Amino acid sequence: MGIIEKMRLDGKKAFVTGGARGIGKSIAYALAEAGADVAIVDIDLAESEKTAGQIARDTGRKCIAVSADVTDKEQVDRMIETILKEFGRIDAAFCNAGICINAPAEDMTFEQWKKVIDINLTGVFLTAQAAGKVMIKQGGGSIINTASMSAHIVNVPQPQCAYNASKAGVIQLTKSLAVEWAMKGVRVNCISPGYIGTDLTLNSPTLKPLIEKWNEMSPLHRLGKPEELQAIAVYLAGDASSFTTGSDFVVDGAFTCI
């Protein structure tokens, strides 16, 4: 099998959490374009259904919408049951749902801290754990977690200690799961994006004033685009990355190099 064939995902079944918009939507599109059937998982079911319908029409792949709060184990388990009922198996899981709350550490409330950690770290664990159980039973699969360049640096000027800590935890969780499940056929990797120009970022009144500062600091002097994360996700989801596990792929336009 040639490299082009290995990069195809024909016949594979995948899900993407936080898949209704932004990075998740872009990755879901890429997986479907590469041949996979995809479940769009999001707490916003209406938007998830809209995205699933759009991807199905554009790619011809089966695409379903599933509502789930990734911090709730029962909802995650039901999500997995729904996907298995529709698809029969899970070959790739993109654990992407996340939030960021900017607040000075001395002013951050416990509720703010807990919300970020619950969604960004505990949510990744619960979805990866649930997918991992299925993949171990079926004989293999690939889990891809969304970390961040914020796991490697302290972002400025915005204060976001909870976000940075949660994403550092995602990387170590990824490595730990990769080692535990290596001999069980389940590969676990993560992607650490830099500043990405999603609709949320570009239209947020709190973030828009920071973009000029970020671009000034970046070696490429621009934000990344969601589609610039697609190739690495497709690679990790498929057979081309069969020897790749426990790795963190930083896609940040060299921001962490400075």
Q: What positions carry a catalytic annotation?
A: 148, 163, 167
Of 28, 185, 8, 148, residue with least CA distance to 94: 28
CA distance 146 to 144: 7
Q: How far is CA 219 from CA 223, 238, 256, in A?
A: 10, 31, 10
Q: Read off the tokens for 93.
A: 């899981």
Count of C-beta atoms within a 10 Å radius of residue 216: 8
Please give the single-letter amino acid code of residue 13. Answer: K
Strand order in the sheet with 37-42: 63-67, 37-42, 13-17, 92-95, 141-146, 186-193, 248-251
Q: Read off the tokens for 96.
A: 């992407």
64-73: burial string, b at 16+ Cβ within 10 Å, e else: bbbbbbbbbe
> Which residue do the tokens 């999001």 mark?
42
Count of C-beta atoms within a 10 Å radius of residue 92: 25
Backbone angles phi, psi at 123, to 5 degrees: -60, -40
Please give the single-letter amino acid code of residue 4. Answer: I
